[in-house]
Amino acid sequence: MIDRILLDEAKIAARLDALACEIDAAYAGGEIRAVGILKGSVFFLTDLLKRLKSPVSVDFIQVRSYAGTESSGNIQLIHDLSMDIEGKDVLVFEDVVDTGQTLRRMMDLLSARRPRSLRIAALLKKEIPENANLLVDYLGFTIGPEFVIGYGLDIDEKYRNLPYVAVWNPMK
């Protein structure tokens, strides 16, 4: 099912090292409230947080987009945060920005809770017009429109635990 490895372990690790330095510098020792969007972000979040020198607290949130046309633009909360984020410096972790809908809705939901700051870290962003106006503060890699798996990304819940990001090929 794997067409080719797009980002191997060494390449991911080197990029995470650089991102961690950038984030530490930006927060200047202030506490970061890391918020992972379940489930895909877990691998990226844990590997990046282990590299940070800044004090960190961690929470998770899970959403699902409504399928019906009437509900489009809304998200259904499957699992909410366990802690209040008011006044906190929140850094949201996403594995991949595809259309950007998940993140846009997540940012609306979280900003209404009045964090002191709200930024985004994403491992991958697809270079497609749908997400062009969505700013990612800390981005791992820009990739093409291919379907990718591994390092948190799944197909039918499988392959999340691959240590690399690969292009999926259904014909193989």
Catalytic pick among 24, 98, 154, 156:
98
Smallest separation, CB 1 to ligand PRP (Å): 16
Catalytic residue status for 98: yes
Looking at the Cβ atoms of 31 and 130, the one nearer to ligand PRP is 130
Looking at the Cβ atoms of 85 and 123, the one nearer to ligand PRP is 123
Looking at the Cβ atoms of 99 and 117, the one nearer to ligand PRP is 99
Distance CA 36, CA 74 (A): 19
**What is the binding site for ligand PRP (CB under 6 A)?**
37-40, 94-102, 154
Smallest separation, CB 49 to ligand PRP (Å): 17
Angle at 11 between CA 46 and CA 63, to 5 degrees: 40
| Crossing angle of helices 42-49 and 9-27, rounded to 10° | 60
CB-side exposure of 56: number of CA atoms within 13 Å? 19
In 66-134, which ranges are E strands? 75-79, 89-97, 117-126
Provide the annotated active-site residues. Answer: 98
